[in-house]
Chain A
Amino acid sequence: MIWEFNFAMFIFLVICAIAAITVKNLLSAVVILSAYSLIMAVLWAEMNAVDVGFTEAAVGAGITTVLFIAAISRTTRRSRD
């Protein structure tokens, strides 16, 4: 456990989470969410939960990004609220 590294990762995590819900372009939101998921996977692995980190990297950063992009390509790209 290196607390400086953890602190920097947490800062990035909060920035990514806030940016993902404020940005209007949905494709950007999906990419930011993927970055959030990658940071979360690094944090899980650093907290000795390798299995959870593995799942987060495979599902969160991999499959859900592709599914979200496929869903965006069938609907509109910009959020209206």
Chain B
Amino acid sequence: MREDVVIRTVCRAMIPFIQLFALYVILHGSSSAGGGFQGGVIFASAFILYVIAFGIMEVRRRMHEKVVVALSSLGLYIYAGIGILCILFGAGFLGYSAIPLPVSAAETRGLMMEFVEIGIGLTVMAVMTSIFMDISVKEGGED
């Protein structure tokens, strides 16, 4: 475990802004550049920065491996669930405008697209974090 106060302070100041930017990229995916994949990767890089600054054990304590696996499958369930919901309402897979919401068709499409992007972002974030954790941890100790 490293005890460098500069790295810890800078990371503690940077990580919330990185996560906020990742959420911005995910939620503005349908209207501008970016999307679920890029936002998820940026979100995962915040966790990687946290591992570099505070050690793998701190992250394991805050975000257990079961939580990571659950998040990665939750994103997939959101994606497939919205797709199959569209099939149940009579359209094709991910045919968004068939879902009966009390807003216009274009707004329904945008809203459902955001949910799909959130699912993709969750899965990408969890899988990237779990790959980095599995590579960076050694058999005996940490880091």
Minimum distance in angstroms from B59 CB to a CB of chain A: 14
B75 CB within 8 Å of chain A: no
B131 CB within 8 Å of chain A: yes
Given A51-B35, A54-B34, A63-B136 contact (CB < 8 Å): no
Chain B contacts with A in 15-42, Cβ cutoff 8 A: 33-35, 37-38, 41-42
A66 CB within 8 Å of chain B: yes
Chain A interface category by residue count: 10 to 19
Given A62-B45, A63-B44, A63-B45, A70-B135 contact (CB < 8 Å): yes
A71 CB within 8 Å of chain B: yes
Report the separation of the CA atoms of residues A58 and B33 in the bound assembly, to the nearest whole angstrom: 13
Given A51-B34, A51-B35, A54-B34, A70-B136 contact (CB < 8 Å): yes
A74 CB within 8 Å of chain B: yes
A70 contact set on B, CB distance < 8 A: 132, 135-136
Minimum CB distance partner of A50 in chain B:
B33
B128 contact set on A, CB distance < 8 A: 63
A67 CB within 8 Å of chain B: yes
B94 CB within 8 Å of chain A: no
Q: Mark A10-53, 1 if CB is under 8 A from B, else 0.
A: 00000000000000000000000000000000000000001100
